[in-house]
Each structure stands twice: as structure tokens, then as C-alpha cells.
Structure 1
């Protein structure tokens, strides 16, 4: 099985080089999206590898914004142009790192080659949950001046004057495009999906399944883009919801949980946890189905990467 790694990065070229060198074998290709606001030459100067392609269609990526989805779509399109169906695609960030050996990774993939690895949270099934209300029923506007980075608006025809004033205010600021006003003047936010799903935005798909998702996106591009550009953290919903929609008719798509360990639970630190050398044993104790962890920062603690390398040779 060939392995295709699509990777989004915005810093630490040396760490990206290390990640690629750790994963590189004669069956691997790497497609890299460098955030548009970052000098790509820093990465080009650091990494000269025939297995690596820095894609040209770059996006200014903003946390929680639809731009993250666009960058991933660009990566998928590039990755599926020249590769064959006997391939698996891994979506990683430049701050990920394997915590299993290449031999163990290949063995796990071979034993589970008929599955997609993507996680689905249960939280969006509860329609009274605030997260469901904000991510599905309301419109989200990405604003640096707002609490947690988003302003949420209800459909205009189902809300009061306060909500309408917010709509006018953010329209004048350019957060709402004039051509999209019709999306807001409704009693209920419209969607092409009956159900919405979310989960970690790091996943692994079989090549054929990735093509099915891209085809669905192309066929429904206008509706999808208009909806998800006003959805908070759309990168945690876009591919998950499309995949679930495809699974309604395509019983060949089978799913297992994602392959990443990400610590969102620790108290007293910025989340997700940036792993340090003190986390060495925690990382090595992860079960056989957890192949990667995030996140790491070689400028904060490179020793943890050294320890992992020594253990999974």
C-alpha cells in the first residue's frame, strides 16, 4: 500500500523536515500546504526531497475558519492527481509525529485496509446543546474582536432587533458578503444535510473514498461553500458530514476511530497539550491503533522527539 501524507504547516521548517524524514520510505509521497501568510522559501530551502510536493494553491489559513477546509481540499486535489487506488491518504499537521514504527504502521494499515480512520463526536446529536445551536442552527462570523473568535447570529426572520443590529454591524465590517444576505433572511438556517457530524480534523482515508468526497464537493460546491463559510470550526464538520452522507448509500465505506492521540483534557495548560519529554511514557503507552500524536514544538522541547525516535526505531 502506498502512503500519501497531506500536511498543513505554518511554522517550524526543521520540524517538518524531521517529520518527513521519519515517515519517508519507498512507498510514501508528501503534499505540503504552507500557509499563504508565511514565507514558503523558509520551507523550500530546508526541504529538498523528490517525495515532497509543495502545492501552489495556497490559502491564508485562519484558526476555526473555512480557509482550513479550502487548504485541505487543495491538498486532496493535488494528492489524487498522480496516485493510484492502492493508496491511503493521511491528513497531518506539521506539528504531528509518529509514535509507532513504520513497521507497526504498515502492519496496522494492512490489517485494517478496508477502513477509513476518522472520529465522530456525539455532541451534535443533542439539538439542545449550545455547540449544536451555534454550529448548526446559527451563523458564525470569524472575528478577532469576539469572545473565542466567533460572533453568532440567529436567522434574521426568527430573531429580534438586537440580532438584526448585529447583522447590519458585521455586514458593514465586511464579515457578511452582500451576495450572501439571502442566507440570513430566513426563519431557519438552510442546509443540504439532515444531520451534521463533527470530530477531530485529522483523519486517514482510502484513495477511492477521498475521490468520492471530492466528487461530492464538486457536485455541491456552491451550497457547501456558502453554508460552511458561516460555520464555526467547519474543518471539524465538513469532511465528517460529507462522509456520513456518502455512507447512507455506499455500504462499502467502513469507519474506525482516527489514528491520533491529542490531549484536550489536561488542566492548567494551553490546549491541546504541547507534549514535552515528561510525556514520553504517556505517548508510548498508547494502544496499537494510535499511530500519531499532536502536538509537538521543536522550539519548546525537541528532546521528546529524540526520545520517541530512540524508542520506535
Structure 2
């Protein structure tokens, strides 16, 4: 069971190193996309690590912009073109961390071969707060003076946007674990449907919708499992999830998930130490 962990990172080199160490395994490879704004010298330690590759041609990633989709797609292409016959691609951020041992994670995917794990809720019926992302024009991916004024007038004067290619929109969390066949399908679909790329470049936070929508409207729909395998705490109702601390450990373990986010090694170093100890104790029982 060969797994390619695709990690999107922009800071905290020590935490990224710890994440990779926690997932190292004989059949695990790591493909790291570093935000173009990041100081690559701070991550120079990656160049000498076994089975760790940096994604070339880095993207300047903006929050809520299509650029994060572009960074992910460059990772997808690098992994598909690596020549390694991977079974799964596991998309992580540098703020994620496993809740189970590498061998247990690989065993899980071996038992669930062919399934694709992601959150996908109907935008029209379940995740209705996302509707304006698709019906309005968003210039988040662009940077020029007066862009918000232009965006405002676009939404006043232009017709309401509608989904291209008759796609039924679904989505939620961007973090997912996909078979390599599903990843290849996404790349081939976008190569053959430039209007879909054009549409999502004007969508706010398209990374939470584009991949799920493509696979939901494809022959892969029957393989989808509506579970991204991540413990994430949105209870504070903010734009970003809660940074996890020791008080969250019991809920993390009770979730049965493979991964959790998000963590901050600088602020709460003790929580990752507790996670490591728990995984080790469980693994050697």
C-alpha cells in the first residue's frame, strides 16, 4: 500500500519536519508544496531526507483564492508523473498530524482499497451558505488596485453565475484521501474542460468545492465515502478551525479519525508530545 502524502506548507519548518517523521514508513513518500512566499532556506533540511520531494514551480498561495487549487494540482501532477505506482494520495497541511501509527494508517487504506475519502455536501440543499461562492463573482485570485470595487460592479451588472458543464456542486473540507485513479481523473477532466477552471478562478475558496464536485459528477461517485478521516473542531464558528490543545485530546481519540488539525507546535508543543505517546502506547500493546 504505497501512499503519497501531499503536504501544503507555508511556515513552521520544525513542525513540518515532525509531521513527516510521524508518518515515515517503508511505503510512504512525501511531496511538499512550499508557498512561494516562504523562505526556502528555512526548509533546506528537506532536500536530504529520504522519499521527500519538493514540488517545483511554487505557487504564491492566497487565502480563499484559486491559487491553493493550483498548488494542489501541481502536487497532483508531480505525484502522477513520479513514476511510482501509488495507491493513495493523502492531502495534508503543515498544521495536520496523525492520530494513528503509520502502519495502522497504511492498513486502513489497504482494507478500504478503491474508496475515496472526502467531505461532500450538496451546496444547493445542505451546505447552502456556500451558494454565493458560486453565484457571485469573486476576484480573490487577482491582485490589482480597486479590485473590490470592480468585483462589486461585476455582481451588480453581470448575470448571476451558474455552474459550468451542468455540474452538481458539492463540497466542504478541502482535505481528502484519494486513489491515484481519482487524482488522474481530476487532472484529465480539468485539462479537457477549461471552462471549469475559468469558473472556479472566480469562486471564493474553490479548494473546498472543485475536487469533490468533479468526482461527484463522475464515474467515481460510487467510490466516494463522505468522511475526510480528519478530526477538525469548528465549534468556535470562526473562519479557521480551533488550534488543538491538551483539552481536546479525549475528543480527538474518541473520534476514531486518522488525522487531526490544526496544531501549533510553537504554542502547544505538549499536545503533539501527548499524541506521540498515545500512538506509541497503542501500537506496542
The two structures share one fold, judged by TM-score above 0.5: yes
| 1:14–1:46 contact (8 Å) kept in structure 2 | no
Find the partner of 1:139 among 116, 137, 140. Answer: 137
Matches within 5 A, 1:290-309: 290-309=257-276
- C-alpha change, 1:129 and 1:116, in structure 2 (3 Å) is closer
- C-alpha change, 1:27 and 1:187, in structure 2 (3 Å) is closer
Structure 2 match to 1:197: 170
1:229-251 deviation digits (Å, cap 9, x = unpaired):
1101100011011111213xx56
| 2:118–2:224 contact (8 Å) kept in structure 1 | no
CA distance in 1, matches of 2:227, 2:107: 17
1:229 maps onto 2:201 in alignment: yes
1:168-213 deviation digits (Å, cap 9, x = unpaired):
xxxxxxxxxxxxxxxx4x4654622331111210000111111111
Matches within 5 A, 1:155-304: 163-164=156-157, 184=158, 186=159, 188-189=161-162, 191-220=164-193, 222-247=194-219, 250=220, 253-266=223-236, 271-287=240-256, 290-304=257-271
- C-alpha change, 1:307 and 1:298, in structure 2 (3 Å) is same
Matches within 5 A, 1:18-29: 18-29=18-29
SS at match of 1:285: helix
1:155-175 deviation digits (Å, cap 9, x = unpaired):
96xx7xxx24xxxxxxxxxxx
Residue 279 (structure 1) shift:
1.7
CA distance in 2, matches of 1:68, 1:51: 24
CA distance in 1, matches of 2:214, 2:178: 13
Aligned-residue CA RMSD (Å): 2.8
1:230-283 deviation digits (Å, cap 9, x = unpaired):
101100011011111213xx566343411111111136x773010112222222
SS at match of 1:31: strand
SS at match of 2:164: coil
Structure 1 match to 2:60: 60
Structure 1 match to 2:145: none
1:87-118 deviation digits (Å, cap 9, x = unpaired):
21100000000011223212221221120001
Residue 128 (structure 1) shift:
11
Is there any run of 5+ residues in structure 2 with no aligned partner, and where?
A: 143-147, 281-285
| 1:135–1:232 contact (8 Å) kept in structure 2 | yes
1:278-298 deviation digits (Å, cap 9, x = unpaired):
2222222222xx100000011
- C-alpha change, 1:151 and 1:88, in structure 2 (3 Å) is farther
The alignment covers a number of residue pairs equal to: 277
Structure whose CA Rg is larger: 1
SS at match of 1:114: coil
